[in-house]
């Protein structure tokens, strides 16, 4: 197989969403090669982000308020240090985006307009042209990346395996060039995993279909720890229009006063939580699911709160509704929970370092600890920026030891076609995950999901892409099965209570032990961030 080597001080970044691109830009002037499975700006979730970015930039806001809301949403599993870093460095990263040319919405006095979203104590979300933050941010960063001589961009290139050296350091990846239909080994001194989320593993999701957790699977196979894969966030208001992926009705709509009603017009969330539609996402998602399961349907009502301003304020949502001849200023919007975000992922410290030397992870693929069991709305774009900069800073300090080393990878890779999952069997995987590892799970349903996944893994149409997808999906099921409690995004109907013991689920694979799993207890919750700060 052909080997291409990046220059000595160069870094390979796998994924060109917000996390991958921002990390690359912040690494200047160090050379970096960024690969993406799709065309630049396509294939990832970043471009689709609607609501915006949470940061304590308002006159009456403080990082500590943002911190408290982040901790509360995360249902006991948020890492103090990571959350502190997130909220304290957030405002500076918003300034960075402004410098890159992002034009956030402003009021008549030129101040940033701040939106409200569920489980935030005050207005704190910066946005662009109403609901187009992700597209605007990505456009600015793509322009900046094109103009940066230290960045090489390789589009339509898929990574399916990491390369490890004889000392256990990660040294690049096996890549597949889709245009040339050619596989090659890209050796690099440092590798950053920025492959995004897992929503594509589910039949009903707001994520692009290619969000299949490949990064998690690749990292696991070289020995990196994977944390809390069972925590999958369902967005309560996917638009139920029969479109795949499901278009999103952004959280900001509920922040703007829209109500959830059933087919009799009853505002069912007022029965379930004191914050009604603005309760944490997991609670609202279960409320919506229960109303649908009871045969009463679920609808978002924007008629009074927004009315005729809808088209201008929420153009993306409006466009989606128009596909099915729904006018949100006069009609109810049918909604259903859809897989939206993965809190679990490749375990990192607060510099984005994974448990393997030479490998960093950032963005949705990473588990930095800031989201715990349930992400606070609009904290994920912020996480990609804050930890993207930290990864860049960490890499700058890294000494990869350039002496000649032998590298290798798991040879079974070469027996599998380096292709994405075949359509039909992949749809079976997605249906399995939605049916058996979805919003509400039981031990039996998760066992059924794992059994189906084993069958898929043994099928004769296995490709490297399908194998990575099966592995990521299996971790979600195994983590869900092991965690015998309900917490945040993980709801077991056979274990409805939240355990008093707060713990992370950790998975690790080595050739000697195969897949192992253990729980790791969190420190005493009564300690304040300052007491635990290092």
Ligand X SMILES: Cc1cc2nc3c(=O)[nH]c(=O)nc-3n(C[C@H](O)[C@H](O)[C@H](O)COP(=O)(O)OP(=O)(O)OC[C@H]3O[C@@H](n4cnc5c(N)ncnc54)[C@H](O)[C@@H]3O)c2cc1C
Q: Which residues bind ligand X (CB under 6 A)?
A: 14-20, 35-38, 43-46, 48-53, 133-134, 158-159, 194-197, 206-207, 210-211, 214, 248, 341, 363-365, 378-381, 384
CA angle 5, 11, 15 (to 5 degrees): 105
Tell me the CA distances in angstroms from 520 to 67, 77, 216, 225, 312, one per residue in order: 23, 11, 19, 12, 48
Closer to ligand X by Cβ: residue 384 or 446: 384
Minimum CB–partner distance for residue 356 and ligand X (Å): 17
Closer to ligand X by Cβ: residue 303 or 358: 358
Q: Compute φ and ψ for 337, nearest 5 degrees.
A: -65, 140
**Angstrom distance (rounded) from CA 498 to CA 373:** 11
Minimum CB–partner distance for residue 48 and ligand X (Å): 4
Closer to ligand X by Cβ: residue 211 or 332: 211
Minimum CB–partner distance for residue 176 and ligand X (Å): 8
Output the six-digit token pair for 246: 């499901």
Minimum CB–partner distance for residue 122 and ligand X (Å): 17
Query: Which positions are annotated as active-site residues?
Result: 281
Closer to ligand X by Cβ: residue 121 or 523: 121
Bond into 515 cis (ω within 30): no
Minimum CB–partner distance for residue 381 and ligand X (Å): 4
Output the six-digit token pair for 113: 């307009």
Tokens 């704190």 — which residue?
A: 124
Closer to ligand X by Cβ: residue 238 or 502: 238
**Angstrom distance (rounded) from CA 226 to CA 220:** 7
Minimum CB–partner distance for residue 57 and ligand X (Å): 15
Residues shown for the chain: 534
Closer to ligand X by Cβ: residue 51 or 255: 51
Tell me the CA distances in angstroms from 510 to 216, 225, 410, one per residue in order: 15, 10, 11
Nearby residues of 406 by Cβ (< 8 Å), 6 or more positions away:
165, 166
**Checking phi first, is residue 454 left (phi over 0); if not, alpha (psi -120 to 50) or beta?**
alpha
């Amino acid at each position: 197989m052909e080997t291409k080597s990046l220059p000595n001080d160069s870094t390979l970044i796998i994924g060109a969403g917000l996390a991958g691109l921002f990390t690359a830009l912040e690494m200047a002037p160090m050379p970096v090669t960024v690969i993406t499975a799709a065309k630049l700006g396509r294939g990832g979730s970043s471009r689709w982000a609607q609501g915006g970015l949470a940061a304590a930039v308002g006159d009456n806001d403080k990082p500590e308020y943002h911190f408290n809301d982040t901790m509360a949403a995360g249902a006991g599993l948020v890492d103090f240090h990571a959350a502190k870093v997130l909220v304290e460095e957030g405002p500076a990263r918003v300034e960075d985006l402004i410098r890159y040319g992002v034009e956030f919405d402003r009021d008549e006095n030129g101040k940033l307009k701040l939106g409200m979203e569920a489980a935030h104590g005050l207005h704190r979300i910066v946005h662009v042209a109403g609901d187009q933050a992700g597209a605007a941010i990505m456009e600015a960063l793509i322009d900046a990346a094109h103009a940066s001589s230290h960045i090489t961009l390789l589009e339509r290139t898929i990574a399916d395996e990491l390369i490890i050296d004889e000392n256990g350091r990660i040294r690049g990846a096996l890549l597949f060039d889709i245009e040339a239909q050619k596989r090659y080994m890209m050796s690099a001194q440092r590798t950053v995993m920025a492959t995004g989320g897992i929503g594509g593993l589910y039949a009903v999701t707001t994520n692009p279909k290619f969000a299949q957790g490949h990064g998690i699977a690749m990292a696991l196979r070289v020995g990196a720890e994977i944390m809390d894969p069972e925590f999958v966030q369902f967005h309560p208001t996917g638009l139920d229009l029969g479109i795949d992926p499901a278009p999103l009705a952004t959280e900001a709509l509920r922040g703007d006063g829209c109500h959830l009603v059933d087919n009799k017009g009853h505002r069912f969330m007022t029965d379930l939580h004191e914050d009604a539609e603005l309760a944490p996402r997991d609670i609202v998602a279960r409320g919506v699911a229960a109303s649908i399961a009871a045969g009463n349907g679920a609808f978002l009502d924007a008629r009074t709160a927004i009315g005729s301003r809808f088209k201008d304020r929420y153009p993306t949502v409006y466009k989606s509704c128009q596909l099915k001849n729904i006018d949100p200023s006069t009609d109810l919007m049918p909604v259903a929970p859809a897989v939206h975000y993965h809190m679990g992922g490749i375990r990192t410290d607060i510099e984005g370092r994974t448990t393997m030397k030479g490998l960093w992870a950032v963005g949705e693929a990473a588990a930095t600890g800031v989201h715990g069991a349930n992400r606070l709305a609009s904290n994920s774009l912020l996480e990609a920026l804050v930890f993207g900069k930290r990864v860049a800073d960490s890499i700058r300090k890294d000494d990869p030891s350039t002496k000649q080393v032998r590298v290798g990878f798991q040879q079974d890779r070469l027996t599998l076609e380096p292709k994405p999952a075949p359509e039909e069997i992949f749809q079976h995987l997605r249906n399995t995950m939605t049916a058996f590892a979805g919003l509400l799970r039981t031990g039996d349903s998760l066992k059924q999901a794992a059994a189906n996944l084993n069958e898929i893994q043994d099928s004769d149409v296995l490709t490297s892409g399908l194998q990575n997808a099966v592995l990521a999906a299996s971790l979600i099921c195994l983590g869900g099965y092991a965690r015998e409690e309900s917490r945040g995004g993980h709801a077991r109907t056979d274990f409805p209570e939240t355990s008093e013991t707060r713990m992370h689920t950790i998975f690790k694979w080595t050739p000697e032990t195969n897949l192992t799993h253990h729980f790791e207890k969190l420190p005493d919750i009564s300690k304040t961030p300052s007491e635990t700060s290092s």
